[in-house]
Amino acid sequence: MSTKGDIRGTREWAVAEINCSRGCTHGCLYCYARYDQVVRRQLVCDSEWNRCLDLQEEVEKLHPLYDGQVMFPAAHDIIPENLESCVKVIKNLLDAGNKVLIVSKPHLSCIQRLCQEFYAVRSRLLFRLTLTARNPQILKIWEPGAPGYGERLMSLRSCFERGFATSVSIEPMLERMDVVAMVEELLPFVSHSIWIGKMNKIDSRVVAGDAVIASEIKRIRLEQSDEQIKCLFQELQGVEKIRWKESIKEVVGLDLATEPGLDR
């Protein structure tokens, strides 16, 4: 049952969200950060959003020791163009003693650089790599500028084999019927958790720009109906590393988190 103090979204994972860029080249159709900064707050125009610009003040900022796990980044991604800025921010967070959750649709070259740079402090890092589907056609439509599944899987393996704590986010799940098989493929390289969640607020965040996208939206809606979510919950019951985001907890009747950053 939900209560007033319920924790939603990334607050389930972290007590603070840190960013150092504006915009993202991955171009995900469901992107909350783009909706927030382009449509809602009009901080940047659409054409600029698809570039990724450093926010120099944020890159240089010294951070306090937060009272729980910190997420980086939350409103952009780590891409070759901003990699060195991201390294600097993560270093600043770690230097202050923080435990950092790195969330990314990973580029293998970026992940390798991060693993190399932060190997000695890996006990305070947790990688959460976003793998939303395996089907290349679906990924091309929904996440047109992001690395494909193969590169993301290699990135996950790379972190795991170097002894980093690893986790996966299947949020939003883009192909419900393949989730169980994808989880089976990913589990050997996951030491921490696999989070699963629905696509949220489709009406306000996703523009049905053409017939292909409109048909995809329809498919996603059907695949994340309450009935389908309950089936998925049953299919994955007993898989110890599975965690359900609040969009699914609400459907299956699990309590929502009441404190931020618990990450469980």
Preceding peptide of 172 cis, ω within 30°: yes
Binding mask 111-150 for ligand SF4 (x = CB under 6 A): -----------------------------------x----
Among the residues of the chain, which ranges form H helices?
Answer: 32-34, 46-49, 56-60, 83-95, 108-117, 136-142, 149-161, 179-186, 202-205, 211-223, 226-236, 246-252
Told to check if 28 binds ligand SF4 by CB under 6 A, we report yes
Told to check if 34 binds ligand SF4 by CB under 6 A, we report yes
**Integer angstrom CA distances of residue 144 from 87, 137, 176, 255:** 25, 10, 19, 35
Joined tokens for residue 31: 């992107």
Q: Which residues partner with 193 through β-bridges? A: 167
Told to check if 198 binds ligand SF4 by CB under 6 A, we report no
Told to check if 27 binds ligand SF4 by CB under 6 A, we report yes
Residues 219 and 206: their CA atoms lie apart, in Å, by 14
Preceding peptide of 106 cis, ω within 30°: no
Told to check if 54 binds ligand SF4 by CB under 6 A, we report no
Told to check if 94 binds ligand SF4 by CB under 6 A, we report no
Q: Which residues partner with 170 through β-bridges? A: 196
Q: State in angstroms the smallest separation of the CB of 9 from ligand SF4.
A: 13
Of 114 and 233, CB closest to ligand SF4: 114
Residues 156 and 18: their CA atoms lie apart, in Å, by 22
Interface with ligand SF4 (CB under 6 A), residue from 22, 63, 105, 152: 105
Amino acid present at 196: I
Told to check if 220 binds ligand SF4 by CB under 6 A, we report no
Of 77 and 246, CB closest to ligand SF4: 77
Interface with ligand SF4 (CB under 6 A), residue from 16, 33, 78, 87: 33
Of 76 and 249, CB closest to ligand SF4: 76
Told to check if 77 binds ligand SF4 by CB under 6 A, we report yes
- Interface stretch with ligand SF4, choices 20-28, 94-102, 231-239, 246-254 (CB under 6 A): 20-28
Query: Cβ distance 183 to 237 under 8 Å?
Result: no
Told to check if 26 binds ligand SF4 by CB under 6 A, we report yes
Query: Cβ distance 233 to 248 under 8 Å?
Result: yes
Interface with ligand SF4 (CB under 6 A), residue from 20, 24, 196, 206: 24
Query: Cβ distance 97 to 163 under 8 Å?
Result: no
- Interface stretch with ligand SF4, choices 11-19, 25-33, 205-213, 223-231 (CB under 6 A): 25-33
DSSP state of 242: E
For binding to ligand SF4 (CB under 6 A), which residues are involved?
A: 24, 26-28, 31, 33-34, 76-77, 105, 146
